[in-house]
Amino acid sequence: MKIRLVADAFDPWQEIVRHQTEQPGLAGKFGATAVFVGTLRDFNQGEAVQAMSLEHYAPMTEKHLERLTAEATSRWPIADMLVIHRYGELRPNEPIVLVVCWAAHRDSAFAACRYVIDELKTRAPFWKQELTGKGRRWVGQEK
């Protein structure tokens, strides 16, 4: 079980391989790997997006990510889980979030992966500010 908040761009596919290499005990224990990668689009709400700034509340964000991954592993039989989330300045086509669930069978892997990404989106304190041709705008926040 690993959670990382990172300021710099990361390659989700390399991270999956690295995690499996660093966890040799995992070998042979899983038959299913479910992966979700969230990536920054170059459009949102009808406007071209040039960049996005992702603000977070580090200790609270970490605490809630740890809690919801713990919830997922108590609900489904999960062999291991990896969550990586960006913060700071992002460019379109850069991955924002990676959720990986390793399990014996696919039902648990899919369900836990879906649970973690859906709960993360509503409970983990992150705020998005987009840079468009009209300047910077907060997403989903009234002025």
Partner 1 sequence: MSITVRFFASLRERLGKGQDIIDSKGIGNVADVWQACAQIPFPDNVLAAVNMEYARADQPVTDGDEVAFFPPVTGGAR
Letters for 18-57 (x = contact with partner 1 by CB under 8 A, - = none) are: --------------------x----------------x-x
142 counts as binding partner 1 under rule CB under 8 A: yes
7 counts as binding partner 1 under rule CB under 8 A: no
Q: Give the per-residue SS3 of 64-112.
A: HHHHHHHHHHHHCCEEEEEEEEECEEECCCCEEEEEEEEECCHHHHHHH
Region near partner 1 per CB under 8 A, out of 5-13, 15-23, 29-37, 60-68? 60-68
143 counts as binding partner 1 under rule CB under 8 A: yes
59 counts as binding partner 1 under rule CB under 8 A: yes
28/135 with CB nearer partner 1: 135
Q: Do 143 and 69 meet the contact criterion of CB atoms below 8 Å apart?
A: no
Q: Three-state DSSP class for 27? A: coil
Residue 98 to residue 4: CA distance in whole angstroms: 10
Q: Which residues are CB-neighbours of 141 under 8 A, at least 6 positions away?
A: 127
- # binding residues, partner 1 (CB under 8 A): 24
Interacting residues toward partner 1 by CB under 8 A:
38, 55, 57, 59-60, 63-64, 118, 120-129, 138-143
